[in-house]
Structure 1
């Protein structure tokens, strides 16, 4: 038991330390330029609305300046003029409100559409990656890419793009108005611009490193949680809660420290600009006040200038507050685009073999096949195997003998290192994967069921398969009675992975899939390993029914499953060491005979234990 725990924890550490693809750094705007181009009309409308909203807002202080200098300070009592200024002021306020609302809605429409497109593209791309990629990368890391990273891109549109356009244009317009009011005073204020630029450049690389660290540690934390949830039964059975809490605490504390560093950096960055803002206002009040007292500057101009200088630093402060969001989005973009940069190791060739499924007979040939996972030692070595169409072949052997690897090559989850795998004389590498996986049907030890109805789980959400076909298939393999006892029959909704069903019921549903999808080759990968004897008999009967007219390969843990096979292969260390019928292999008195005696001993011990328990 201790060894099992150690192995599981080692697998976790290996997953977390899996090598990641590190692509060349790409800027956020460059990465999203193609998506932005698709929504150019919406973005054009956003820019127009922004221009109108900014113009309406910035003209308001200038109107107050006119009211002060041309009316109040000049001694004129032009109430109609003041009323007109007030009316225009209110109209500009309303105009600013309306077009600010429109600009936000247009940006959200474009931004949400882009993020939705990226999510769909990312999910579709992950679905095309080879099994070797999922062997290296933990599922929690991929969950972070699909959820957290795309959400960071969403915030880029919600906050960064809005701020850059609105606040950037606001700065430009304010400078124009300030120069219009007093060029000399404006030039004095612009002394602070190089200081602002210097601070931004100094902080840039440090902040990017800080945000990258926080995102990476979050990914590791999510990966750890996802793996613990999937292995919760193992944790509870071996009372590993305290150890896993300790490991979670380490990762959580690491993420906490990275977050605190990120917040501290952000606070220092933003407060620096607040200080500069206050210094600039104080400087303008002092310098402008002296000019007003010396009658060199009108009071209304000073009022408008102070208002504009306050408004000048407000968008700068807003832009700098979005700096962390921009950095976070940049990190997220590079992480997502690093997934897009990964090419499937197993992919369809440019020229594939066109053929019709109904013409496939099911003949299988492994010709001199050698295979290794990555750069590891070969798990299959120079294997030759030829299976006739319609033949039922059992495959047995100890753990690590290469049984499942053999099946993975036939399904083309991996490509051979040397040799070839043929179906009816066609190399599987030349068959489109979509067609190949319709030709080869796989029933695994733990069949996967989706959240949905029994009907949808049998036909796998394929509307081309009718309800009548599903019912007929289930009744054919003996699952109709079981489904009939469910609350809503075929419309009963199953929970994730079908946790409300027994192992046998889940297997029967997976056999029903075989009937409705009609593959020419059927593979059972230890499909009865975890079943009791009664359920195993039900599955065995289902197997006998679905195997008719199909080439069938059965990887067996229990030899009783394949004793009636046309041929039994015994594998050891990636090679076929024996083959023949059940009786022929017993007569040889070799590996198979030893496995058979061992299985009979287990069977007798189990029967004895069952009798004693009664």
Structure 2
């Protein structure tokens, strides 16, 4: 019978992993999901539409005013100066209106677009934080960074460029055609014959432009990856004098990208000039047909002037919309990629049944692994039928060769992953029945590579938990011997660390992370190779602090340095996902088994046969 905070609900002992591949969402469904954000800003988009409508009408009515001035005043010989002045005033008013509402439209759309992109970016980052560790095993950090930064920026371009073009240029085309038919239906019909030609050219160029765009972006990505790789391995490049070779390879990749970029620019120029030629031919055709009509008194000169102006304006929105194809394509792919991330579900979830109520001060710290089997990939178990009981307050050392399952055991206890079969219980309660937030306060973890944020010493130790006082932080640092490290910094505990704590040695960062775990006072403490990067003096400090902090607390220590766990209450020796030996240090040495060989090797003892035996065993495990 577990403690009073144990959940009484029955649960399934088998739980699947996040291994099933979901079908990638289609572009349409991705934009349908995005439409929910658009509906939230319906009034704003209506305002943008209204501003766009007024700005377009203000632009397109200007040629019509000139037609009135030419036909009804200048050529008619009326000489109505007041009428001309009124037309000039109205013309200026239209120009001012176009400027004002275009400015307002752009600002409104940018504000709406940025709000939507900020909301998507916030949701995306929050969703990534909720994913299980198996998700990060499959997804690279670079891909996730691209989703949060580049893909959301492509989404921003959709609102600021593509959507604006569809609004403005689409309406402009419609109104231009209406105005042309209003002026002269026959001449407008002749002009519309050019539309199929424009459509064919746009389709042909679109395919070619997509190819050149993708090729340029692919080669740019390879160039950036090459630069990043060189920056990461700069010390190796300089030590082996590879500067010339890397410079040659960079020049080669840079040249390939240059050619692809030139090809892309050439394609855009050719496409734009083709439209210019079509526009010129169309204007020449209208001038020829309209000129004969004006000379034959069948058309007024003002009508011809306005018609030619509308023809000039007719090609601009078509050209703009077509050139937005690449941006639309990038945005479409970006939205699909963003929603593929948002569609992913965490493999580890809190139970939908009643969760256990946890009081940290009542947790004793008994840990039980009941017939646990676990695999990262189906059919390749790393832990098989493991049964283990750890008593409250026991200090356990865990050793074994690489791949023996030590870290996997710890990851399961922290519930970074769920077991395939069996169960893990703390004080009799299945950890799947404990809320993850409570479980992670119960189990404190200090890893081999300590992570420090960009922030002050205080913030890095408290992790922005206001319930932890400054005095608690100072006491914890003094307890683990980190006080001398902090005191030599310029601003002491208020010193701001850069990303990953650069400027501090690995041992100093580990001391701070150890202080971090102490202030949270978890009932169960795990040290995963926590002393691997420490010098002898720092290791001695950590060892002393460990002896103090482990008193009355269940502690699990994974160690390659066997000296770290020689004083443990019990040492577990793991091999191929199983506990093959366990006992105190002296007991295990006396047995002369695998632990004794590991210890002998760690002390530099043993003959070549022993060394070969250990090597073969390690290779077999790997």
TM-score normalised by length of structure 1:
0.89
1:165-244 aligned within 5 A: 165-204=167-206, 207-208=209-210, 211=213
Retained in 2: the 8 A contact 1:140–1:226? no
Distance 1:412 1:530, change over 3 A: same
> Equivalents in 2 of 1:516, 1:195: separation in Å?
74
Instruction: Name which of structure 1's ranges 589-598 and 204-213 shifts more when overlaid on structure 2.
Output: 204-213
Structure 1 residue matching 2:403: 3-state secondary structure: coil
Match of 2:132 in 1: 130
Closer, same or farther in 2 for the Cα pair 1:385/1:482, shift >3 Å? same
Name the CA distance, whole Å, in 1 between partners of 2:406 and 2:354. 28
Distance 1:376 1:106, change over 3 A: same
- Alpha-carbon shift at residue 251 of structure 1 (Å): 6.6
Partner residue, 2:101: 99
Q: Which residue pairs with 1:540 in the alignment?
A: 543
User: What SS does structure 1 have at the residue aligned with 2:448?
Assistant: coil
The CA deviation at 1:141 is 2.1
Return closer, same or farther for 1:118/1:239 CA change in 2, 3 Å cut-off: farther
Residue equivalent to 1:54? 56
**Is 1:575 aligned to 2:578, yes or no?**
yes
Against the structure 1 CA distance between its residues 146 and 351, is the aligned structure 2 distance closer, same or farther, given a 3 Å change threshold? same
**Cα distance between partner residues in 1 of 2:126 and 2:193:** 52
Residues of 1 paired with 2:385 and 2:226: CA distance? 39
State which of 306, 309, 315 in structure 1 corresponds to 2:308: 306
In 2, Cα distance between equivalents of 1:352 and 1:206: 58
Determine whether 1:559 maps to 2:562.
yes
In structure 1, how many angstroms separate the alpha carbons of the residues matched to 2:553 and 2:358?
16
* Cα distance in structure 1, aligned partners of 2:429 and 2:235: 44
1:130-188 alpha-carbon deviations (Å, 9 max, x no partner): 22232233222222222222111111111111111011111111111111100111111
Residue number in structure 2 paired with 1:83: 85
Is the contact between residue 454 and residue 497 of structure 2 (CA under 8 Å) also seen in structure 1? yes
**Contact residue 370 and residue 382 of structure 1 kept, 8 A:** yes
Shift of 1:557: 1.0
Aligned 8 A contact 2:588 2:595 in 1: yes
> Aligned partners of 2:542, 2:590: CA distance in 1, in Å?
29
Distance 1:446 1:117, change over 3 A: same
| Alignment match, 1:13 | none
Q: Deviation per CA, 1:516-537: give whole Å up to 9, x if none.
A: 2222211111111122211110
Aligned position for 2:526: 523
Which one is further off, 355-364 or 224-233?
Answer: 224-233
Cα 1:587–1:114 shift into 2, 3 Å? same
Deviation at 1:210, TM superposition (A): 5.5
Give how far 1:467 is off: 2.1
8 Å Cα contact 1:140/1:223 also seen in 2: no
Q: CA deviation at 1:64?
A: 0.7
Distance 1:569 1:249 in 2: 55
d(CA) in 1 for partners of 2:247, 2:369 = 48
Residues 154 and 396 of structure 1: CA distance in aligned 2, closer, same or farther (over 3 Å): same
Tell me, yes or no, if the aligned pair for 1:362 and 1:521 is still in contact at 8 Å: yes
* 1:91-128 C-alpha deviation (Å, 9 max, x unpaired): 11111111111111100100011111111122222222
| Cα distance in structure 1, aligned partners of 2:307 and 2:212 | 38
Give 1:25's aligned residue. 26
Q: TM-score, normalised by structure 2?
A: 0.88
Kindly report which structure 2 residues correspond to 1:193-592, keeping only aligned pairs within 5 A, or say none.
Answer: 193-204=195-206, 207-208=209-210, 211=213, 259=261, 262-351=264-353, 353-358=355-360, 359-375=362-378, 377-592=380-595
Question: In structure 1, how many angstroms separate the alpha carbons of the residues matched to 2:240 and 2:385?
Answer: 41
* Residue 3 of structure 1: aligned partner: none
Alpha carbons 1:144, 1:219 under 8 Å: kept = no
Please report how far the alpha carbon of residue 591 of structure 1 lies from its aligned counterpart in structure 2 after TM superposition.
1.0
Q: What is the CA RMSD across the aligned residues, in angstroms?
A: 2.7
Q: Aligned partners of 2:236, 2:74: CA distance in 1, in Å?
A: 82
For residue 10 of structure 1, what is the aligned residue in structure 2? none
Gaps of 5+ in 2: 1-19, 607-622
Question: How many angstroms does 1:583 deviate by?
Answer: 1.1
Shift of 1:48: 1.0
Which residue does 1:4 correspond to in 2?
Answer: none
- Which residue number in structure 2 is paired with residue 599 of structure 1? 602
Question: Could you tell me whether the CA contact under 8 Å between 2:356 and 2:433 is conserved in 1?
Answer: no
Gaps of at least 5 residues in structure 1 are 1-18, 604-614
Segment of structure 1 superposing worse, 302-311 or 375-384: 375-384
1:601 alignment partner, SS class: coil
Question: Could you say if the C-alpha distance between residues 353 and 168 of structure 1 is closer, same or farther in structure 2, counting changes exceeding 3 Å?
Answer: same
Counting matched residue pairs gives 586
8 Å contact kept, 2:358–2:434:
no
1:258/1:377 CA distance change after superposition, 3 Å: farther
Distance in 1 separating the partners of 2:247 and 2:354: 51
TM-superposed CA distance for 1:315, in Å, is 1.2
Q: In structure 1, what is the Cα distance between the partners aligned to 2:460 and 2:242? A: 34
Task: Give the corresponding residue for 2:5.
Answer: none
Which secondary structure state, in structure 2, belongs to the residue aligned with residue 373 of structure 1?
Answer: strand
CA distance in 1, matches of 2:503, 2:381: 40
- Mean Cα deviation higher: 52-61 or 204-213: 204-213
Q: Which residues in structure 2 correspond to 1:131-146 (within 5 Å)?
A: 131-146=133-148
- Give the direction of change, closer, same or farther, for the CA distance of 1:577–1:472 in structure 2 (3 Å limit): same
Flag the 1:591–1:34 CA change in 2: closer, same or farther, 3 A: same
